[in-house]
Every structure is written in structure tokens, then in C-alpha cells.
Amino acid sequence: MKLTLEALAERGHEIVVAFPGEPPRAGEAPAGVRVVRVEEKRRPWAAASLAGLARGLPASALRHASPALEREVRGLMKGSPDVVFAEQLQALPACASAFERRVPVVLRAQNVESDLWAARASSASRGRLLLRWEGKKMAAWEATAIRRCAGTIALTAPDAARLRELAGPSRPIAAIPAPFPGELPAGEVSLPGSPAVVVFGSSGWWANAEGATWFAERIWPGIFRTFPAARLHLFGLSPGGAPPPGAFLHDAPMDSRAVFAPGSVFVVPLRSGSGVRMKILEAWARGAPVLATPAAAAGLEESSGLLVASDPASFEAAFRRLQEENDLRGKLVADGRATLARFHDPLSVARATEKFALGVAARNQGAGGEAGSIGTDRPSSA
């Protein structure tokens, strides 16, 4: 979103970003954009879950509700903004004052939250009933949010279609890809292995942890037997217990460039997900060939810039191609960068976002969507 905000600011729009959490590090804040931060005080999952059980609401909505952020946004409404963007579903309760003032609110949905909960329930070894119920509550809350917002932006066409299925055609929903630079500096330091195989993600996100464990336990042993000089590097992830033979564990790097080391192969082994994998876009920009599961590749507009594999045999075949076809690595990176230029150019994304927001504002003429805000009250039925 930073790139979109900077491009919109360059086009003459006055933008204020209010958010909870840590202050941005040097260079992280969008240029030309006013940034307002409030202290983040998330409710513990256990407390949020109990409150959700009692009130029929998703625990995620209650956990991320921020009275401090809502007060900050209420103060910003005195400046009479034309449009308010909510970055992800959990930000909507903080927009209560915008709904009250009939300021058009646009939801930017990075993924389909209820589908993620459903996927988590299906893959969980315990607690499936509670996770499934959480998904159903989230689906109802998500549908209510979309119907009440003036418009919704999804990052992929499949997500946009799914959100229309959830909420119906009452409000405009557009698919606008995430912005990303066409080229970034590659990593400077090589990693051990021929090839070095890299998996990168946050262990705090269950889908990353599950995918890394599946790859390390089910896929990597066969690759290591076939290619004994290969080495697996897990950044920010741990499959649990000691790493498998031929594997190394690394802390999450301060600079992501370290992950995209020269000569490495970047693997995205997600087995479920929604939205678009930003790490794939970054791999293309930094010049690393990508090998991904179908779930990881699902949100991309074009998949010619990567190899897709889903089981030990197809992963091994993909690695064999990368080792034996001399021009394949370069072709994958070139195709990936062509996809970045065609769909993810920051200026083009900013223009599409601007057009959608101005169209929503004109259609609503200050109505701000359906009456009522998206708070932590019981949602209507999906």
C-alpha cells in the first residue's frame, strides 16, 4: 500500500494514514503522506474468543478493535475527507465516525478472511469445530462489512468474485492488483548449497508455518536424496524439532534482500491462502526463480514466471528442470518481471485506485454506503 499512497500523493491528493502499532522505521513511512500512530493494545486471543462466543462475533474482530484508533479517526473526520480507506477488514470498526458522517468508506481487502478460517479449520489437528464456527461468524461479519461499505477493493480477481458471492451485488467490488516495483537489488551474499533452496515467511502466520513444516517433512527429503549438494534455508520459520538433514534455520532478516541470495531457488510451499503472495512479486523483482504450490500461485494474474508443484514427484521434476535447462532461470525471472510491469506498476495501480475511489464518492454523494457502521455489534446474516 505504501507505493500506492506515494503515487496518490504525487498526483496531488492529501493523504493521512492512521494506524496502531510500532512507529515506522526509517524509510518505511510513505513520502508525502502524513502518518498518525496510536498505541496498539490487542485483546488476548483467549479473551477475544470468549467474548466472541458470547456475542456471536468473530474473535479476530474483537481482538483488533482499537478504541484509540477510533478516537483518532473521529478527530480526522473534522477535516471532511472525501473518502476513507480501511486497510483490511479489522480496520473497519475504527471507521465508525466516517459511517456516521456519511463519508464513503472503501474496504481494501487483502484476502478473504472467512475462507482463511475455513482453510485453517480443515487442516487443524484439533479445535476444528471452534475454528469452523469462527469462520462462519467471520463470513457473516465480512458480508455485512462489504454491504455497508461504499465499495471494496480486492487484490485478485478470484478474491473479488468470492467477496461478491459472500455479499451479493449491492456494492461495487473491484480487483486492483497490489503495487510492486518492476526491479529491486538482488541479494549480495550467496548461501551454501547447489542449489540453495530458500523458504521465507513469518512463523506467526499459521499458513506459513504449516507450509514450511509440510515442505521440510514431506518434500525436502526426496529432493535432498536426488540432489545431495542442495541445501534448504528456512528464514523466520521452523518445522518443529531439529531441522531435517541438509537444512539450516535462520532468523527473519532485517533486510529481505538476504533471502533472495544469488543462485538460490525461492520456494513458496503454501497449501492454503487468499490474496496474492507478495514474496513471489519480490522474488521476481530481485531476480530469483520461483517454485510454488498451486495455492501460492492462485492469486497471480500470470503464472508463467514460476514453476508450480504440488507433491514430491512434481517438486523433484521442477528442481531437475532448474538444474538441467540452462535458460530456464532467466526466462522465469524475465516472465515474472513482465507480469510486474503489466499488472503491478505502482502508478497504474494508483490511477486505478483513484478512479475507483472517485467513482464511489460520486455515486454515493456523501451517503457512505448502507446505514450503520461496522463495529463489534452482532452482524446481520450472510
- 146 and 200 in a single domain? The answer is no
pLDDT mean values, one per 10 residues, the chain (382 residues)? 86 91 78 88 79 79 87 93 92 92 93 87 81 89 92 93 90 93 92 94 78 92 95 84 88 88 94 83 95 91 92 95 93 96 94 93 62 47 32
Q: Is residue 78 part of a domain?
A: yes
Place of cell 478472511: 113
Tell whether the torsion through CA atoms of 208, 210, 213 and 216 is positive or negative.
negative
Domain assignment of residue 370, yes or no:
no
* DSSP 8-state assignment for residue 94: G
- Report how far residue 163's alpha carbon sits from residue 31's, in angstroms, rounded to the nearest whole number: 32
> Does residue 358 belong to any structural domain of this protein?
yes
| pLDDT value at residue 201 | 81
- Asked whether residue 293 is domain-assigned, the answer is yes
- Do 207 and 311 fall within a single domain? yes
The CATH number of residue 51's host domain is 3.40.50.2000
Distance CA 42, CA 64 (A): 6
- Domain with 59 in it: 2-179+345-364
Residue 11 and residue 154 in one domain: yes
Q: Which pLDDT score is estimated for 282?
A: 95
In a domain, 163, yes or no: yes
Maximum distance among all Cα pairs of the chain, rounded to whole angstroms: 65
- d(CA 163, CA 274) in angstroms, rounded, equals 11
Q: Are residues 151 and 207 in the same domain?
A: no
The answer as to whether 186 is a domain residue is no
Side chain identity at 83, as an amino acid letter? V
In a domain, 374, yes or no: no
Q: Are residues 202 and 157 in the same domain?
A: no
CA distance 46 to 31: 38
Residue 101, all three cell numbers = 458522517
Tally of domains in the chain: 2
* Confidence (pLDDT) at 159: 92
| Long-range interactions of 301-306: CB distance < 8 A, separation 24+ | 301/156, 301/157, 301/177, 301/339, 301/342, 301/343, 302/335, 302/338, 302/339, 302/342, 302/343, 304/335, 304/339, 305/332, 305/333, 305/334, 305/335, 305/336, 305/337, 305/338, 305/339, 306/280, 306/332, 306/336
Q: Are residues 136 and 243 in the same domain?
A: no
Residue 8, amino acid: L
* Shared domain check, 145 and 8: yes
Kindly state whether residues 243 and 323 are assigned to the same domain. yes
CB 321 within 8 A of CB 307: yes
Q: Return the half-sphere exposure (C-beta side, CA atoms, 13 A cut-off) of residue 279.
A: 22
- The residues near 298 (Cβ < 8 Å, ≥ 6 apart) are 156, 158, 273
Taking the alpha carbons at both ends of the chain, their separation in whole angstroms is 29
Residue in the block written with cell 483490511: 88
Q: What is the pLDDT of residue 351?
A: 94
- Kindly state whether residue 27 falls inside one of the protein's structural domains: yes
Q: Are residues 28 and 54 in the same domain?
A: yes
pTM, whole model, 2 decimals? Answer: 0.87
Q: Are residues 37 and 166 in the same domain?
A: yes
Domain identity same for 121 and 97: yes
User: Looking at the structure, do residues 221 and 333 belong to the same domain, yes or no?
Assistant: yes
